Chain A
Amino acid sequence: MKKILLVEDEKALSLLYEEELEREGYEVVVAYDAESALEQIRKEKFDLIITDIRMPGRDGIELIASIMGLRKDIPIIINTAYQSYKDDFMTWAADAYLIKSSSLDELKNKIKELLEKSSS
C-alpha cells in the first residue's frame, strides 16, 4: 500500500483528506505542522507528500526545501488556498501546485499520476 504524508494544520480539512485518500486505498499519515512532518519523514518512508503552504511554525515553502534536502525522490504536491504563491519560485520545486477545492478529483488524479510516474 502506498503511503502518503499529509501536512495540513486545519483539523477538519485534514480529516476530510485523510478519509477520502484512505478510501482511494492509500495509507495516510497526518502531520499538523512542518516540524512534526520533518520528524515523520526522518522516521518513515513515504511515497508522496501533500503539503499546505502557510502553517504555524516553519512554513510550507521552507518545509519543501528541507524535504528536498532530506529526500529528493519523494514527489511533493502543494495543496493550498493561496493562489499567490504559485509565482514564488520556491514552490517550483514541488511536482504539482493545486488550489484547494471542494472537489477532490484533481488532487486524487494528481496523486495517481505522480505515483505511477515514480514507480515506473
Chain B
Amino acid sequence: MIKRFGLQPLSFSLESSKEMVLLSIIAQSFFQPFSLDDNLLVILTALTSGTGVGFNRALLFLKEGERLQARMWLGPRSPEEAQAIWSMLSTPGLGYAEIVEHNRELVERMMETLRPKLKLLSYNLDAPEVKIPALAAKNQEIILVEEAREEPLVDDNFRNFVEVDSFLCLPLVAKNEIMGEIVVDNGITHAPITNKDIELASLCALLAGNYVYTTHLYKKVLEMEKMAALGEMAAFISHQLRNPIVTIGGFTSQLLHRPCDQEKCQRNLAIILQETKHLEDIIFKISHFLKITIKELRPIDVRPILQSIIERPDLKLKAENKRLILRQAEELPKILCDPVYFEEAIVNLLDNALDVTPEGGYVYIRAFPQNRKWLRLTIKDSGPGLDEKMREKIFTPFFSTKENGTGLGLLFVKRVMEMCAGKIEVQSKPGHGTLFKLYFKISEEKVKP
C-alpha cells in the first residue's frame, strides 16, 4: 500500500509548533521565483505572521555601500488594522502563497506613505559613534532593547519612527559580511519578547542574510555572463568582418600602387563591391538578430505553415538529392507563438538539418500533440551528429561549425522559444544524427474545422 502527499503543504494546521510553521514557510519560499524582494518578504512574513514567530511588525534594512538603509516595513499601523489583518490571516486553510500575496499588497500600499520616512532611516556604519539600530549590524550581534525611551544608545529618529519601547535588532550576516538588519517589535500587542522568540528570529535572520548574499552573487554572475557574451560578440564581429576588410584593403592597395590593365581594374573593383555587400549582409544579420521581440503571442495553426515551409524554393533547392519529409497529425491544436518568428525558427532548423545531411539522407519534421498542454515538433537529420562538447556549445552565441555561419541561428531559435514560453531540447550522438525537440504551449482556442 502506498500513500501520496503533495509536494508543497499548502496550509498550516494551527496545532503545528511555531518552529515547524516557520521552517515550512521559509522552505516554501524556495519554490518561488528568484527575487530578492519576494524572498525577503517571505522572511518578514515568517517573522510577523501569527502562525510564524508572531512579532507584530518587522522593518528591513539593507547595506548599501557603507550605509545601512531602511527598505521595507511590514506590519499593521494601528490596532484596528492589525485586528483586520490577523483575523484574515488566521482563516483556517489559508495557504502560504495567499499570505505572501497579501503581505506584498500590504507593503506596496504602505510604501507610498512610508518611502520618505524610510529614506530618513539611514546610518553610516563607518561613523565613529554608531547608534541603535545600526549598532547591531556594525557589531554583528543581536540587540534586545527594552525601555527605549531611557536608552541613550538608541537613535532619536528611529525611536520616533517605531514609537515603541521594546524591539529586537537582528543583524543579517553572511560570510562574516554585513548584509543588512531586521528590527522586529510588538508595537500593537505590546507582548514581551521572549528568549524563544529571539532564538526563532535569529534563525530567520540567518536565512535572510544568506538570501541577500546569494542575490548579490547571482547579480555578479549575470553581470559576468553579460560581459562574457559581449566579449564573444566583439571577437565574433571582429573576425567576421576581418576577411572582407582584408580582401577590400588588399585589392584596393593593388589598384593604388600598381599599374593595372582595364580588365584587372574591373575585376578588383567587382571583388571590392562583392565584399562590401558581404559586409552589409553580416551587419544586417546581426542587427536582425538583436531585434527579436515578440509583442503579442497569438494562437497559430501550424499545419498550413509547416506545409508551406517545406515547399519553400530555397529549402527545396537545398533538399535536392536529399529527402525532406513532413509528418503531422491530422488535427493539431493551435499553439501560442508569433507566426513570422515561428516560421523563421523552423526554417533555421531545417536549413541546418539539410546542411549536415549527406546526399541520399533524410530530414524528418514531425508535429504531434504531446499532451493537452504541449505540442511537440521534432526535426531529425541524418548528419554526422554532435559530440558532447559540441552539444554544449550549440546555443552559445557565435559558435558555428559552418564556414559562413554567424553562430546566431540556433540562438535565434532558442530566443523565439523562450519568448513563446516553449522549450527546446537537443539529442545527438556522433554517427546518429541530431534531433531537435521543440515544445510549444497549446492555446486554449480550438482550431475550427
A55, CB-defined interface residue at 8 Å: yes
A56 CB contact (under 8 Å) in B243, B245, B247, B403: B403
Given A10-B247, A83-B235, 5 additional A-B pairs, CB 8 A: A13-B243, A16-B247, A56-B403, A100-B243, A102-B250
By beta carbon, the residue of chain A nearest B231 is A84
By beta carbon, the residue of chain A nearest B272 is A12
- Residues on A with beta carbons closer than 8 Å to the beta carbon of B253: 102-103
Contacts A56-B403, A83-B235 known; A10 to B243 CB distance under 8 Å?
yes
List 8 A–B pairs whose Cβ atoms lie within 8 Å, in order of A's numbering. A12-B275, A13-B247, A16-B251, A54-B403, A84-B239, A100-B242, A100-B243, A101-B249
Min CB distance, B397 to chain A, in Å?
14
Give per-residue flags for A5-38: 1 if the beta carbon is below 8 A from chain B beta carbons, else 0.
0000110110110011000000000000000000
- Residues on A with beta carbons closer than 8 Å to the beta carbon of B240: 81
A104, CB-defined interface residue at 8 Å: yes
A interface bracket (residues with beta carbon within 8 Å of B): 20 to 34
CA A99 – CA B243 in complex, angstroms? Answer: 10
* B247→A12 contact, CB < 8 A: yes
B308, CB-defined interface residue at 8 Å: no
Could you tell me which A residues sit within 8 Å of B by CB distance?
A: 9-10, 12-13, 15-16, 19-20, 54-56, 80-84, 99-104
What are the 9 closest A-B residue pairs judged by CB atoms, nearest first? A102-B249, A81-B242, A81-B239, A16-B250, A100-B246, A56-B403, A12-B247, A12-B271, A13-B247
- Residues on B with beta carbons closer than 8 Å to the beta carbon of A10: 243, 247
Residue from the set B238, B243, B248, B271 with the largest chain A CB neighbour count within 10 Å:
B243
* A84→B235 contact, CB < 8 A: yes
CA A18 – CA B421 in complex, angstroms? Answer: 52
* B403→A101 contact, CB < 8 A: no
B254, CB-defined interface residue at 8 Å: yes
CA A84 – CA B398 in complex, angstroms? Answer: 13
